[in-house]
Amino acid sequence: MIAALVQDVTVAQRLVPLAAAAAIALASIELIRRRKLREEYAILWLVASFAMLVVAVFPRLLLWFCDAVGVHYITVALILGLSFLTLVILHLAVAVSRGADDTRKMAQRIALLEKQLQDATGDQAAPSDPSDDQQ
């Protein structure tokens, strides 16, 4: 059955993942160049585009994997895609959590420094807010 599926893979079915892989890779590289995407996050997308490229050029690899596992092509593609997206979301959640922790720590340090400055100068007035100066 799998051998028959390989013969049914049309040029369009190869070109769509090939075009998607190229678009993802080019978009990632362009975002890195513009400094809108950090390299560590771009690696995920470059790996994904490489995997799509391999599947587009060699569809028998995915079909062989499907046959070895005993599931259908669409099911495996869906499971692999959702697994990848889950890993990306997990990675980004860790990065956001780390950023939130860093922001909280910096706010605490600034508050302590303002208090030390206030104590050192003997100034009893509350520190001015930069946005108050613009009124």
pTM of the model: 0.56
pLDDT value of residue 117: 93
Whether the pLDDT of residue 132 is over 60: the answer is: no
C-alpha angle 77-70-72 in degrees, rounded to nearest 5: 40
Q: Average the pLDDT over 5-27 and give the result.
A: 79
The answer to whether residues 39 and 1 touch, using CB atoms and an 8 Å cutoff, is no
Least confident stretch, 33-37, 65-69, 84-88: 65-69
- pLDDT greater than 80 at residue 106: yes
Q: How confident is the model at residue 130 (pLDDT cuts 50, 70, 90)?
A: low
Contact between 114 and 127 under an 8 Å Cβ cutoff? The reply is yes
Structure tokens at 58: 């060699």
